[in-house]
Structure 1
Amino acid sequence: MFVVCAPHQSDALHQELIDLEAAMFEELGLHFKSAPRSWQSSGFEAKALKILDMPSGDLGAPAYRKFDVEAWMPGLGRYGEISSASNCTDYQARRLNIRYRPASGQQQQQAPGKGGKGGKGGGGATAFCHTLNATACAVPRMIVAILENNQQEDGSVVVPEVLRPFLGGLEVITAPGQQQ
């Protein structure tokens, strides 16, 4: 997932990306760790989530703030990252020169001494956009988490209910030759 927005929108949209990821993983029945976070007050009811607010030393150069989502991986005996969401503020926009013209009366949130240029058309100064990105679903890690968390003693795998319509209504995956 990728977002280009005005600076005053980036924190709320970062939270929305995390909410979307968390809702998706919860629908899949994955167990993940949860830290008390402000996003929980946004109407999304976290049950067994852990969203890690990553320390600055673990961030890549573009990221101002990053959250990792980890799911329980029985084969590893620990939680493992299945997605992340980063707020890159204007880092990428500055390098790509992505600007917007704020609506009249909208306050610009630029770093001190880094105001936007006036543009053609007399509409006032431009400002750098903010960019955000989120993994949404790291498919290989997601498959591992789904298989490991839904495997039965006989080796069969219970298909999460939300995925059944995409598998022709299949409720349990069995090995070839194994009875359902």
Structure 2
Amino acid sequence: MDPHRKPVADGVGWPVTLDAVIDPKLLRENPERVRESQRRRGASVELVDQVLAAEERRRSAIASYEQLRSEQKGLSKQIPRAQGDEKQQLLARTRELAAQVKAAEAAMAEAEQEYQRLSLQIDNLVEDDVPPGGEDDYVVLEEVGQPRDFAAEGFAPRDHVDLGRILGAIDVERGAKVSGARFYYLTGVGALLELALVNMAVDQALSYGFTPVIPPSLVKPRAMEGTGFLGQAADDVYRLERDDLYLVGTSEVPLAAYHSDEILRADQLPLRYAGFSPCFRREAGSYGKDTRGIIRVHWFDKVEMFSFCHPDEAREEHRRFLAWEKEFWDKLEVPYRVIDTAAGDLGASAARKFDIEAWLPTQGRYREVTSTSNCTEFQARRLAIRFRDDTGTRYVATLNGTLVAVARAIVALLENHQEADGGVRVPKALQPYLGGRARLEPLA
């Protein structure tokens, strides 16, 4: 085991301390802050009061159990010294207490289970300066690059499906034949393009001190629940019921669970990992959307950044993640914009999320290609990931950010760098990863 890791549990089931689900002190002392966060997300405000009531029942059940256990222990010390009727009375009371303790223990377990069930439904607290509103209420922070004027260049841009066919790079027809809708093959230069993008992303991550990881793509329920993907996103997750395992939609899940039930050393933070994995998504609710091509698919590969850091450093780490994502897309020479996602469009685990959206000429609009989220202590509490410093132990903060989601990166590259004959110019930074190619040539 690495010297900075120390297990605190056997990793089976949830941690014993249910305070890890949500900070009970914050909930008791400032419930309105939690209510306001739920309100801004468009989530249940009433749930906060339900959790408060459940936590009070839990505390009361624990107190009752401990009082009965204390009396039971006291009697066990008196019985050996008692005689005659007194001893018989003590024995009778002991039998009564045994039944009461058993009932109190069951009531305590039930109260704890109910508290856990309800508190798991509360989303992470939204940062104060996150834009209000829903999906369409994002704030554009900046626009980088200028979309090409194809009309001025004398030709109409082809979409990535047509370009992929001309280049022998993308085969959606055979993907559908073999696996169904929203599947595809990358062939020839398409396959080489994926490898080039992945290698360029990994090289960049290495330059910033990330540890490369190839994590498992099948995880236990706790990993999914702990990262917040079995709440509002549950319908988009593939589950193998026979094995009780889930296919991950992002390597964020196994990376977050990597240090579950461990206490890390403060002087090792931040711990940064770059995970490469396939990602699987059911795309529930997307019927009829992006049915052409590889923009919205059931499977794609991705290089994901992940950080375990000191909670006081989380906001700064979030900005670093965004800067690294921008650096990668600057290398691809694709016009893009950065948006600050509105509260009502955040995932359950994110306190704040920035998206990079690349310009797609054939759609005449920006489309999301990467995102980075600050999950503060939300995932760490659920997965029991702490760090120790001179003041004791605290939960870490977790952050994630995509360097490259390959399918959409290929779409953006092909469409933005296409030429009139269907060939595609290769950005200078990517050329070394494609054997020096400066251009993807159409098939003869």
> TM-score, normalised to structure 1's length?
0.75
Q: Which has the higher Rg, Structure 1 or Structure 2?
A: 2
For 1:99, the equivalent position in structure 2 comes to 386
The answer to whether 1:155 aligns with 2:430 is no
Q: What is the CA distance between 1:125 and its match in structure 2? A: 2.5
SS of the aligned residue for 1:127 comes to: strand
Q: How do 1:11-26 and structure 2 match up within 5 A?
A: 11-26=315-330
Q: Find runs of 4+ consecutive structure 1 residues off by over 3 angstroms.
A: none
Q: 1:164 maps to which residue?
A: 431
- AA in 2 matched with 1:60: G
Distance 2:406 2:435 in 1: 20
Q: Give the letter for the 1:98 counterpart.
A: I
Structure with more helix by fraction:
2
Question: AA paired with 2:396?
Answer: C
Letter matched to residue 13 of structure 1: E
Report the Cα offset of residue 75 of structure 1.
Answer: 2.0
Gaps of at least 5 residues in structure 2 are 1-304
Q: Distance in 2 between matches of 1:134 and 1:164?
A: 24
Aligned to 1:133: 400
Query: Which structure 1 residue ranges, 5 or more long, are not aligned?
Result: 34-50, 105-123
Q: Which amino acid aligns with 1:145?
A: A
Alpha-carbon separation, structure 2, partners of 1:170 and 1:61: 43
User: Within 5 A, what are the aligned runs for 1:4-153?
Assistant: 4-33=308-337, 51-102=338-389, 104=390, 124-153=391-420
Taking only the aligned residue pairs, the percentage that are identical comes to 46
Q: Secondary structure at the match of 1:24?
A: helix
Quote the Cα distance in structure 2 between the aligned partners of 1:83 and 1:167: 22
| Matched letter for residue 401 of structure 2 | A
Task: Output the amino acid matched with 1:56.
Answer: A
Paired residues of 2:331 and 2:430 also in contact (CA < 8 A): no
Name the SS of the counterpart of 1:140 in structure 2: helix
**SS of residue matched to 2:421:** coil
Once residues 6 and 97 of structure 1 are traced to their aligned partners in structure 2, the CA distance between those partners, rounded to angstroms, is: 15
- Deviation (angstroms), 1:130: 0.3
SS in 1 for 2:355: strand
Q: Deviations over 1:125-144 (max 9, x none)?
A: 21110000011111100000
Q: RCO (CA 8 Å, sep 6+): is it higher in 1 or 2? A: 1
Aligned mates of 2:323, 2:333 — CA distance in 1: 15
CA–CA distance in 2 between the matches of 1:61 and 1:170?
A: 43
